[in-house]
Structures are given as C-alpha cells and as structure tokens.
C-alpha cells in the first residue's frame, strides 16, 4: 500500500519526488509515475497536465442557448488527457491514502479536486494537502511533514468561478454568434463577464482620444547665465492660454536680467521598492523588456518549476521572516560574482528588514528567489526575468535613497520664472536594483538670493493639449487589478483573448480598439449594459471571495449570477437582428481591410483573401465566405513578398499574385489555384 501524490505538472512531480527520496521513474500509458520508498513512507507521485477536467454543456449542441445544465468531464479531444486520467485511476485503486500537491491557489485546488473526486473515486475530502510556495527540497519536505486538510472553501470558490465564467461566456458568445447568423453570416465571436468590462475600458479610452480637441497653449522658457554656467527656467505659469499674454511677457522680459529672489533646498527620502507580486512583475517586465503579461507569467512559472523562485501567482507584496532572509541571500552569493558584492552589502547590516507593500495573499508571500543555483543554463529572457526578481528582492532590503531638490525663483521685470535641480546624495537601494532603476539628475549652478543672472534668451513655444495615452498591456493589467475584475491568474489571458478575437490591435501608441471591438461594446451597451459593467463583475468577485471564506454558499452565488444573465439574454434575443446588423458593418470593414485578392471563383459571393493560420502561422488563400460553406482554399509560398496584382488567371479565373523572393530580383507571377491547367503546361 502506498500514498498517491497528485501533482499539477510533470516538472513539479519530478521535483517533489527528488525532494522526498531517491525516485524510480516508470510510465503508465506514456504518463510518468515517480515512486519513492523510504523507512517512513511509500509514495507514488502522479502528474496531471494542467486541467484534466473541465465544464461541458450537457446538450452538446453549440447552437442552443441559454444553457445552464453543466457537468465536469475530461477535457475533450485530447488523448493525452484520457491517458493521464486512466493512469491516475489505476494507481488510485491500490492507494491507502492521498496527498493533494497541486499549486496552492484556486486553479490548483480545482485541478486537484477534480482528479481526486472523478479519477480517484471521491477522495478529495479524505486527502491531505501539501502547501508550499517554493519547490526547494527543504520546503517540500517540510510541507509533507506537516500535511493539512484540503481547503474546501478554495475549491468551492474556484469551481464556482469556472461555472460562472462558463455560463456567461458560452451563453453570451452564442447569443452574439446567433445575432450575426440572423443576417446570414457567421463569425466566431465571444464576450464574457470579465472580457466585456475589460474591452469597455479600452473603448472608453479610445473614445476619449478620438473626441479630444487639441487646445493651443504657450510655454515660455528663458536661458540664464551665472558665471559661465547656463541653465533654463520656465515661466511660473506652465501653460499660458492666450498668445497676447505670452507675447506681452516676452516683450517685457527680453534683454532684461533676472534676480534670484528665493531658494529652497530640501532633501527627499526615496523608500526601497516593495517585493514583486505577479501584477507588479508583469508591469515591470513590460516596461523594461516589452514582454507581454502572459509571456512574463509563462517564464515565471518555468522558473518556479526549476525551484529558482517562489510561486508567482500571488498578489502579496509581503515577505515573512519565515522564508529565511539570511539563507536566501547567502545562497544568491554562491550563484555568481554578479550577486556576491550586492549580497555582502546586505549581510553587513545589523538587521534584515524588507520594505513591504500593503497587498496580501492568504496562500503565498511575494515573489522571491530561493537562493538555489540553476541546474541548467537559462535562456536570455528567462535570465532577464530571473535577474529582475533577484535584484528586486535584494533592493527591498536596501537602505532608502536620498535626493536633494533645489528650487529657485527668478524675477525678470516683475515676472517670475522657476528652475529646479535634483541630485542623488545617497544611492541606497538603487545600487542593488541597477540596471533597472535610473535617476535623472539635473544640476544648477551655485546660487544665492539676490544674485544677478544674465538673460541670454527668452522664447515662447506653441504646444497643444494631448489626449490621454492608449492602454498598453501593462497598464490594462493594472486597470483590471484596480477595478478588481478577473484574477491574478486570468487577467493576462483575458487581454490575449481580446487580441485573438480581433477586438484589440497593437499599434505604436498601445492597444487600439478595432471596429469590431467597438461594435460589440456598442451593441452590449445598448441592449445588455450590465454585461460590460464593472459593478456586476466586481460584485461577483466579492461573492466568490465570500465563498472561499465560507461566508456564502456557492449555489446561491451562481443562481444570482444566472438571474442577472437571463435579463441580459432576454434583451439580446429580442434585438438579434439589430445586433447582427451592427456587428456586420464592423466585420465587413474588417474583411475589406484584409489582403483581398479578388472575387471567389467558386461561390461568386465572397472574397479570396490572404490569411495567416493562428496555429501554424502559415499563410494561405481562403474565401471570406468560408463559414457559410465555401471551401475555396489554396496554399501560398511561405517565403518571399506577396504582391496583389488585381488580375485573374485567364485559364481558371483565380487571382494572380506576384512573388518576390529577394529584393531586386524578378517578380514571379503565379496563379493561386494549385489545380490550374496553366501550371501543368508551365505557362505561369
């Protein structure tokens, strides 16, 4: 008899097995199983592949809605999932006890719950729970020596969240698709209880930008000289709104020297940064490396599975002393010379106390390095994210930095100009956080009250008020966090989905809302406004938090959510044709913007367009009327530049394209129809 340990990922299962003893590895249906025997215990450690079970619509008919009859079932169309379930079920039959060792958060709790309930024969309640924030040998052993009971509240909250997301996502998406079908067209559309408000944020910002009317204003700047040192000062009113007022100031001050009439000299303390939570890390990585939030999370999870950092899906900005500051910092000194000097600075301090933020997480502390050396070389991006986490952790223990600010007011003919200087007098924590922190210093000459300054030049520059910045992926993530919608684990995926649905597009200024994105939000605001309301989504998040804490019943929360959804669906059903027409205009514009080659020679209705596969990224020709039954497709050369000729093949009427394989070389004219007779004769 043995204890069956359920893990979330193969890498985690291997780490746990190595920490518990000397494992032997075998395979069952191609799934790795790790066995550990020692004098104290006998473990068999199995692994999931993420979610093995998910929610399905019992009707199994995608055209039917509303649907509320759901059940948990193996993730469809994935043979590897079925093999994993079969392997775990076989092991469970002879197990004497069970340990839930999946990630300790809502998603991890749901994954373990589903496996223990459905694959192991309803063993969740009697299983033990291993709680750990890092995959270091020491912490794994400690967690197995102090096994706890499963967190039923966490499991219920996670399962309730899945049900609400599924119910809202499936029903609203089907309602949108059916609305579009009502005018005889098809497109894969989606909307959900978090997707809607998130897209609405971007739409609101885009409206602000497009409605912004630039107003002119004038900035007045003077150049002064003091003992050969030249510096600039700005008129005390940052924006002069009338040109006549600006010109009057220029006329009064040109050629007139200035007098220093006041000097203030102050020191400012700059506290060390707080440790990373996942949102902070995602925003910093985007700012520094332009990594998308989803990519940053993926890298952080890889580092966690290699036992290099603590569990990354945390909202905490706190580092409890129980993690062992001295031990971690000493371990970092052994990883390489780049850290040893920084570590020596910290270990020389009498006491190590990190600067902490206000945010907490009941399951995990802030993200921190474990002090364990990498067993294999990290890739370039992996090392960047790891180095950022290490230096942020060290900087949190650093002394506050100190800066000096000198502000001067200068009188020129009764008009006041201001100049400021900033210098860093003590680097403190900034030494530990280089090169990820920069302090812009600006020096002024030595000035005293009453000093006479030579006025070298004075100019007025016309500027215009600017619209607000578009959201980028990092600031959108911050907005979702601020509005308390979504979770630390799902926010990046929501943003990614908005890109996939072509509701958002990347542009130089950030995230731009497409015509389709506008149409979806406009139709929802007109006919089902609660769907894009943060109030409804935030209320559900609060209710789910109450489920986790045991102060609310999951079924009550779900029933309330269904009642609110039914009201919205009734409005959508009533106005299907109006919604379909509204979205159709945006989709038609979207198709027109695609690389259209010409009319489809098969259906005579759609346009043949150059399309890129989302899965393989290969380009091919497809008909815009594909969803309505036209199967016209053709491969394209994967290399070279495609030129649209606007001409059709005389043999088969399919579009002709030009292909240039290298700059300055001949353009080859090719018929897109691979079955064209001209290709057999070699005439194209």
The predicted-structure confidence for 95-130, as pLDDT tens digits, reads as follows 999 999 999 999 999 999 999 999 999 999 999 999
DSSP bridge partners of 56: 71
Nearest Cα residue to 104 out of 365, 364, 315:
364
Fold assignment, 2-150 = Rossmann fold (3.40.50)
Q: How confident is the model at residue 233 (pLDDT cuts 50, 70, 90)?
A: very high
Q: Is the pLDDT of residue 684 over 60?
A: no
Q: What is the mean pLDDT of residues 649-658?
A: 87
pTM exceeding the 0.85 threshold for the entire prediction: no
Total length of the chain: 684
Spatial distance between the Cα atoms of 506 and 525, rounded to a whole number of angstroms: 24
HSE (CB half, 13 Å, CA atoms) of 455?
A: 21
Question: What pLDDT is stored for residue 489 in this prediction?
Answer: 83
Are the C-beta atoms of residues 190 and 81 closer than 8 Å to each other? no
Question: What pLDDT is stored for residue 615 in this prediction?
Answer: 61
Spatial distance between the Cα atoms of 127 and 98, rounded to a whole number of angstroms: 5
| 334 or 596: which leads in pLDDT | 334
Tens of pLDDT, residues 415-424: 999 999 999 9
Q: Which CATH number fits domain 278-396: 1.10.290.10, 3.30.70.60, 1.10.287.1080, 3.40.640.10?
A: 1.10.290.10
270: CB partners within 8 A, 6+ apart: 400, 401, 402, 403, 428, 430
Question: What pLDDT is stored for residue 64 in this prediction?
Answer: 85
Query: CA-based angle 24:30:35, to the nearest 5?
Result: 20
Nearest Cα residue to 191 out of 560, 530, 647, 555:
530
Catalytic residue among 65, 304, 311, 339: 311
Alpha helices in 397-472 (DSSP H): 430-433
Tens of pLDDT, residues 354-378: 999 999 998 899 999 999 999 889 9
Question: What pLDDT is stored for residue 396 in this prediction?
Answer: 97
Q: Is the pLDDT of residue 627 over 80?
A: no
Q: How confident is the model at residue 617 (pLDDT cuts 50, 70, 90)?
A: low
Tens of pLDDT, residues 16-36: 999 999 999 999 888 899 999
Question: What pLDDT is stored for residue 78 in this prediction?
Answer: 78
Question: What pLDDT is stored for residue 593 in this prediction?
Answer: 52
Q: How far apart are the first and last CA of the chain?
A: 72
Q: Please state which of the ranges 93-97, 444-448, 603-607 shows the lowest mean pLDDT.
A: 603-607
Q: What is the CATH number of domain 170-210+474-585?
A: 1.10.460.10
442 DSSP assignment: B
Bridging pattern class, strands 31-37 and 24-28: antiparallel
Tens of pLDDT, residues 373-394: 998 899 999 999 999 999 999 9
Are the C-beta atoms of residues 460 and 244 closer than 8 Å to each other? no
Question: What pLDDT is stored for residue 383 in this prediction?
Answer: 95
Q: What is the mean pLDDT of residues 1-19?
A: 94
Share of the chain above pLDDT 70, in %: 96
Question: What pLDDT is stored for residue 631 in this prediction?
Answer: 85
Q: Which CATH number fits domain 216-272+403-464: 3.40.50.150, 3.40.930.10, 2.70.20.10, 3.30.1370.60?
A: 2.70.20.10
Question: What pLDDT is stored for residue 287 in this prediction?
Answer: 93
Q: How confident is the model at residue 259 (pLDDT cuts 50, 70, 90)?
A: very high
Q: Is the pLDDT of residue 612 over 80?
A: no
Are the C-beta atoms of residues 595 and 101 closer than 8 Å to each other? no
Tens of pLDDT, residues 131-178: 999 999 999 999 999 999 999 999 999 999 999 999 999 999 999 989
Q: What is the mean pLDDT of residues 310-335?
A: 93
Share of the chain above pLDDT 90, in %: 69
Q: Is the pLDDT of residue 672 over 80?
A: yes
Q: If you average pLDDT over every residue of the chain, what do you get?
A: 90
Q: Please state which of the ranges 5-14, 350-359, 501-510 shows the lowest mean pLDDT.
A: 501-510
Spatial distance between the Cα atoms of 387 and 382, rounded to a whole number of angstroms: 9
Tens of pLDDT, residues 171-214: 999 999 898 888 887 778 899 999 999 999 999 999 999 899 99
359: buried, middle or exposed (CB in 10 Å: 19+, 13-18, 0-12)?
middle
Question: Is the sign of the CA dihedral 491, 308, 349, 334 positive or negative?
Answer: negative
In the chain, domain spans:
2-150, 170-210+474-585, 216-272+403-464, 278-396, 596-681
Residue 311 known to be catalytic: yes
Nearest Cα residue to 566 out of 60, 55, 64, 68:
68
Q: Where are the extended beta strands (E) located within 613-665?
A: 619-623, 633-635, 641-648, 655-660
Tens of pLDDT, residues 546-567: 999 999 999 999 999 999 999 9
Q: What is the mean pLDDT of residues 433-448?
A: 93
HSE (CB half, 13 Å, CA atoms) of 647?
A: 11
| Sheet of strand 128-129, all strands in order from the earlier edge strand to the far edge | 24-28, 31-37, 42-47, 2-7, 95-100, 128-129
């Amino acid at each position: 008899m043995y204890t069956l340990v359920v893990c979330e990922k193969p890498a985690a299962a291997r780490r746990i097995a190595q920490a518990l003893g000397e494992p032997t590895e075998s395979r069952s249906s191609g799934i790795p199983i790790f066995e550990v025997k020692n004098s104290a215990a006998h473990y068999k450690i199995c692994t999931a592949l993420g979610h093995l079970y998910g929610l399905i619509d019992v009707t199994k008919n995608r055209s039917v809605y509303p649907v509320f009859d759901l059940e948990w079932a193996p993730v469809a169309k994935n043979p590897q999932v079925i093999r994993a379930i079969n392997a775990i079920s076989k092991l469970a039959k002879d197990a004497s006890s069970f340990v839930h060792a999946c990630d300790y958060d809502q998603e991890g709790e749901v994954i373990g719950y589903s496996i223990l309930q459905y694959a192991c024969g309803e063993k969740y309640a009697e299983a033990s729970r291993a709680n750990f924030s890092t995959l270091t040998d020491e912490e794994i052993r400690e967690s197995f020596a102090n096994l706890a009971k499963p967190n039923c509240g966490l499991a219920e909250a996670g399962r309730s969240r899945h049900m609400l997301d599924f119910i809202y996502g499936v029903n609203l998406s089907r309602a949108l698709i059916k609305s579009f079908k009502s005018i005889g067209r098809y497109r894969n559309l989606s909307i959900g209880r978090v997707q809607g408000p998130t897209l609405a944020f971007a739409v609101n910002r885009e409206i602000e930008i497009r409605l912004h009317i630039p107003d002119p204003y004038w900035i007045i700047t003077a150049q002064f000289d003091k003992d050969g040192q030249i510096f600039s000062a700005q008129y005390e009113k940052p924006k002069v709104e009338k040109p006549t007022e600006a010109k009057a100031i220029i006329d009064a001050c040109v050629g007139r020297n200035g007098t220093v009439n006041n000097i203030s000299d102050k020191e400012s303390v700059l506290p060390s940064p707080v440790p990373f939570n996942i949102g902070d890390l995602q925003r910093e990585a985007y700012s520094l490396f332009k990594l998308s939030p989803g990519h940053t999370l993926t890298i952080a999870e890889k580092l966690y599975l290699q036992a290099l950092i603590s569990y990354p899906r945390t909202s905490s900005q706190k580092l409890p002393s129980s993690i062992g500051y001295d031990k971690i910092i000493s371990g970092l000194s052994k990883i390489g010379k780049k850290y040893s000097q920084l570590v020596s600075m910290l270990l020389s301090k009498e006491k190590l106390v990190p600067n902490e933020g206000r945010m907490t997480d009941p399951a995990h502390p802030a993200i921190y390095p474990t002090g364990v050396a990498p067993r294999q070389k990290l890739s370039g991006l992996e090392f960047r994210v790891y180095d950022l986490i290490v230096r942020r952790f060290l900087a949190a223990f650093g002394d506050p930095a100190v800066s000096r600010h000198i502000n001067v007011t200068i009188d020129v003919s009764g008009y006041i100009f201001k100049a400021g200087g900033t210098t860093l007098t003590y680097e403190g924590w900034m030494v530990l956080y280089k090169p990820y922190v920069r302090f812009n210093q600006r020096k002024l000459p030595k000035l005293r009250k009453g000093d006479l300054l030579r006025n070298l030049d004075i100019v007025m520059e016309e500027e215009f008020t600017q619209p607000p910045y578009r959201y980028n992926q990092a600031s959108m993530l911050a907005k979702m966090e601020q509005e308390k919608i979504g979770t630390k684990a799902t926010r990046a995926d929501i943003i990614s989905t908005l890109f996939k649905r072509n509701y958002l597009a990347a542009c130089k200024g950030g995230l731009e809302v497409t015509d389709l994105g506008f149409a979806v939000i406009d139709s929802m605001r007109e006919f089902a406004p609660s769907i894009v309301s943060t109030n409804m989504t935030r209320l559900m998040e609060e209710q789910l938090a109450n489920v986790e804490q045991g102060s609310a019943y999951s079924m009550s929360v779900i029933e309330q959510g269904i009642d609110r959804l039914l009201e919205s669906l009734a409005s959508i059903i009533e106005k299907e044709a109006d919604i379909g027409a509204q979205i159709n205009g945006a989709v038609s514009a979207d198709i027109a913007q695609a690389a259209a080659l010409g009319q489809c020679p098969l259906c005579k209705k759609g346009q043949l367009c150059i399309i890129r596969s989302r899965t393989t990224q290969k380009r091919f020709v497809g008909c815009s009327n594909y969803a309505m039954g036209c199967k016209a497709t053709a491969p394209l050369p994967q290399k070279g530049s495609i030129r649209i000729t606007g001409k059709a093949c005389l043999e088969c009427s399919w579009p002709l394209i030009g292909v240039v394989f290298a700059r300055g070389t001949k353009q080859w004219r090719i018929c897109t129809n691979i079955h064209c007779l001209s290709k057999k004769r070699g005439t194209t």
